[in-house]
Amino acid sequence: MQTAHPSSPVLASVLMVSAMAIIGVVDNFVIRLAETIGLWQFHLSRAVMMLPLIIGLSFLGFGGLRPQRFWAVLLRSVLITLAMLFYFSSLALMPIAQALAGLFTSPIFVLLISALLLDQKIGPWRVLAVLMGFVGILCVLQPDPNAFDATSLLPVAGGFFYALSAILTRTHCANESTVALLAAMIVTLGLAGALGLAVFSVLPVVESDGPAGFVTRGWVWPMEAALPWVALQAVGSTAAVFMLIKAYQLGEPSYVAVFEYSVMIFGPLFAWVVMGQGIGPLQIAGIALIAAAGAVLAWRASVVPQREPVR
């Protein structure tokens, strides 16, 4: 059973920014493991490494592992799995700034789905936030109408499924243990990895070399070249999730959520300084618009549920 924690907004913001810094760094290295192994082997291997760490979080008192509403937790895990598959696929095919911009469209999708399907009223500030976010997406993705590339929509699809999972978390999983939700998600991602491996190891798919073959690559062995990057992802993601959990326990969720957008600074900045990925002024402006839109949505939320961070 989870215990109450005293409010500490300063510590909560420090933990959230630290978690985003870790995620912004480790996600840059997906391109390294994508050179030798595939998406499905990555998720299966990472799940195997992460599960003992998540079980350790349960033993430390951060929540039980057994879900209360199995069907809701299962559906939520499937939605997040789809989101993460789209997001990590995009990391192998485009700069991290574009991938993060697509994934962080999720608050906009949450608002649109809530208004159109759940019949919730939205005010002018939230409408403005949606417009800002949409303009920001166009600035970062920079779609070419004369040469449309469908891969640019991969992270946006991730943002859509992430939004669906957030709505389900709020409506049907609010009383679930954070650790139970996280464990179910990792197990589902691992099973998806195993299924994808089975499919692409049997089907005769023409495999591309390097990151271009990330999504369609079957089992690769030995995997020594990719193993350090998978381990970095597993440890880094678990450490970041630990900090995220603590941040949402120690601070008001609507306040803490704003600092989640700092990943859109750390990720592209690390990619530029260390990995040489360029980012133009228009993309910088787009990132700022998306972050501002998320901040406005968090500020105007009358009731913001305590969210469980997704990785």
- Give per-residue pLDDT as tens, 225-281: 889 999 999 999 888 877 876 776 676 655 666 777 788 788 888 888 877 776 778
Q: How many domains does the chain have?
A: 1
CA distance 91 to 234: 16
In a domain, 279, yes or no: yes
- Evaluate if residue 220 carries a pLDDT over 70: yes
The reported pLDDT for the residue numbered 85 is 94
CA distance 272 to 277: 5
In a domain, 309, yes or no: no
The per-residue pLDDT for range 91-118, each reduced to its tens digit, is 888 888 888 888 877 777 877 777 777 6
Window from 43-57, 85-99, 103-117, 159-173 with minimum mean pLDDT: 103-117
Window from 1-5, 273-277, 285-289 with minimum mean pLDDT: 1-5
Residue numbers of the domain that contains 144: 9-300
Q: What number is the average pLDDT over the span 140-145?
A: 66
Window from 22-31, 59-68, 249-258, 267-276 with minimum mean pLDDT: 249-258
CA distance 87 to 74: 20
CA distance 102 to 159: 6
In a domain, 281, yes or no: yes
In a domain, 216, yes or no: yes
In a domain, 274, yes or no: yes
In a domain, 306, yes or no: no
The per-residue pLDDT for range 180-218, each reduced to its tens digit, is 888 898 999 999 999 999 988 787 676 677 788 888 888
In a domain, 223, yes or no: yes
CA distance 85 to 183: 17
Crossing angle of helices 39-59 and 227-250, rounded to 10°: 40
In a domain, 193, yes or no: yes
First-residue to last-residue Cα distance in the chain? 23
